Amino acid sequence: MNSGNENHKLLLEEFRSQVSVGDFLSDEMVKDDAFLMRWLIARDFNVDKALVMLKNCMTWRKDYQIDSILEWEPPEDLKKACPYEITFNDRSGRPVLLFPWARWTPWDFTDHGRRDEYLKYSYQMLEKCVAAIRKPATQFTLIADSDGFTFRHMSRVKALEANLEVLRGYECRYPEMMGLAIAVNCPKVFSLLFAVIKPLMSSRTQEKLELYDSNSAKWMKRLVHYIPENDLPEKYGGRRMTQIMERIESPQQGCDIEISA
């Protein structure tokens, strides 16, 4: 072990000694090196800052009852308008989130008094990703399909603000939970959105992000590199039929699918 790793190990033990069992963490969390390291990494191994970040997150989880969010059954119209799937793992054993975000219509909710419901649904999706992780994996993989993205996604201000809130929430409440993100079918106009969201992402998140346009020859090869072909949906270069991606219609027509998670 090199000196850097030795120092990180010492900082980990210092951090562990400062978190409280029963106060806001379980005994299992305190003993979990991977869990504690996420907060240290997110704050560049500054123990004090990592402690503040962790405590703020646990306070948020308690205030918004996040620990029981998986028990919530979202309304059918919300599931239908905002589909996703978490049903298989990549070659590293990380669960994969298939996220056709550009086909979502969040403005149907944020513009009609259902913003909190939409946010809850989005955080439930993240919680499902976390719940799907099985050791030795400690992270999940994201496939973000940008097919269908138009300037409309930028112009619906309430929906955009809600999505930016979720992104900020991921960075401060789910640090280092995503191991890899591959965004495919990104049109030229996507650069406008990326200019908005990039400052909200940590440098570590940005390093895990791979962006591809609609040239499927490039990104299909990349996806197969990370995900076994038998698990990867046909639409993305694999051999698997899937409930979600094969039945999505155009954004103008809507979609008629069920969520698997």
Q: Write the pLDDT tens digit of every residue in 97-147.
A: 999 999 999 999 999 999 999 999 999 999 999 999 999 999 999 999 999
pLDDT, residue 256, reads 30
> In percent, how much of the chain has pLDDT > 90?
83
Q: Letter for the amino acid at 33?
A: D
pLDDT, residue 257, reads 29
In this prediction, residues 79-105 reach a mean pLDDT of 96
> In percent, how much of the chain has pLDDT > 70?
90
Give all domains of the chain, ordered by start, each with its CATH number. Answer: 3-63 (1.10.8), 68-247 (3.40.525.10)
